[in-house]
Amino acid sequence: MLLEKTFHSGAKPPLGSLIEGRWVQGESTFTVLDKYSATPIAEVASATRAQVAQAVAATHRAAQAGAPAPAERARVLRRAGELIAERRDHFVDVMVAEAGFTVADAAGEVDRAVITLNLSAEEAPRVVGDVVPFAASPGAHQRMGFTLRFPVGVVCAITPFNSPLNTVLHKVAAAYGAGNAVVLKPSAYTPLTSALLAQALLDAGMPPEFLAVVQGEGDSVGTWLLQEQDVAFYTFTGSTRVGRIIQQAAGLRRTQMELGSIASTLVCADANLDRAIPKIANATFRKAGQVCTSVQRLYVEAPLADEVAQRLAEYAATLPAGDPRDPATRIGPLVTREAAMRTEQWLREAQEQGAQLLCGGQRDGSVISPAILTRVPETGRVWCQEAFAPLVAIRPFDDFDAAIASANSTPYGLSAGIFSQDIDRCLSAARRLRFGTIQINETSSARSDVMPFGGVKDSGFGKEGPWHAMREMTEERLVTFNP
């Protein structure tokens, strides 16, 4: 009944777990809230311990029996992209409600999801090995060798709330494209989008035994998945704290982790601000700043510092915050009211410590207006902890080397950006910034779905991007022949 009152654009998402092609109920439910109004929109059945075991066992049997041929897997992934495009309004409707995305952010998520599916389809037939140059060893020039790649088996994907469609597909589509079976545990904040996605994959022809969705909280369902020894590979996007738990439980099994971040972007004195300012604002505030690569630290060379701060504040004033269903809204709610209250507290603390709030920071329920700060102390939480909120701290610099060192000073290393027309300075930054991605004349948050994406240090390891993820999710086997 709650769904009927909320979604009007088409088929309603299933409200249980998907096991062996059937949507099943559990013994308890959890409530999904509309992130703007904080009102219930659905009661979703949590998977039981037995259902988690059943889901893993079923996908393990399927993996052992072998996946459909690569061309068939590619066909399924392409058809899924077509279905998601056809059901665009359904997906947007659900993400606006359960993720709090603005209509524009939700539509962008759908567009990127179609790209990710098509990229995965293109790569599915290309999961091949390499020729070994034995002639490099004296006396071995007559030998021949090559590698083959095989699926690892069951891939467990544990996914976040802040990209409930595209990040899920970077794991699920890549895993299936490489010939694996998949058990998906979506965020309990955003389970409905994953349910719609799973139904689209089934409708596209994905064999039911190759996909399971187990709904529930991380402390229960997530923990049970870590106990299942038939899972061969865990792919996770989320906090560093949870990533450590998964890694410890995985033991010698393989993992791919995209974890915490404090993303930095540098603006040098020769930067083109007409180009940089809109990019920085979008990268800072889209999805209400709830992106792991959102610009949180903005280093600006001193001659431009005042101008950048003023122009960024003026730009932020053009980004209305509020109801995500209003097409004019550019900044929607945070995932919970508690997250918004935490952000409000951090901003207040920063000001008490001497920071200047140039604009924004007002809270209305779970919505925070886009906030820009200067003079933030080194110990301020908005500077030295991951904010995951629509805020940015600006710090002027005179010494380029010191700015690089400061950006490197956090435990994290996911993505960084630099704006400059000095190629030597840009290449110096690329060599010295210890991040998984360095973007020149882009912000830290400028991801294309084809590129390798992943971090270093406490931001994790391994790569997403369909080709790169498929290599992670396959085993390499060497074959040699001595005539």
Residues assigned a catalytic role: 258, 292
Where do the H-state alpha helices sit in 290-422? 302-316, 337-352, 381-384, 400-407
Contact 233, 255 (CB under 8 A): yes
Concatenated DSSP letters of 12-36: PPP-SEEETTEEE--SEEEEEEPTT
Q: At what angle do helices 103-123 and 88-98 cross, to 10 degrees?
A: 120
Report CA-CA distances (Å) from 388 to 292, 334, 340, 374.
Answer: 7, 9, 10, 18
What single-letter amino acid sits at 387?
A
- Containing 265, the helix (H) or strand (E) segment is strand 263-267
**CB-count exposure of residue 179 (10 Å: 0-12, 13-18, 19+):** buried
Q: Which two tokens stand for residue 74?
A: 């590619």
Cα dihedral value 341, 343, 344, 347, nearest 10: 160
Q: Which two tokens stand for residue 221?
A: 């369902």
Report CA-CA distances (Å) from 246 to 60, 207, 213, 252.
Answer: 20, 28, 18, 12
Q: How far is CA 462 from the centre of its chain?
A: 13
Number of CB atoms found within 10 A of residue 372's CB: 26
Terminal alpha carbon distance of the chain:
71
Contacts of 136 (CB under 8 A, 6+ apart): none
Q: Which two tokens stand for residue 292?
A: 């792991």
Concatenated DSSP letters of 416-466: EEEE-S-HHHHHHHHHH--SSEEEETB-S----TTS-B--EETTEES-BSH
CA angle 105, 97, 243 (to 5 degrees): 75
Contact 319, 285 (CB under 8 A): yes
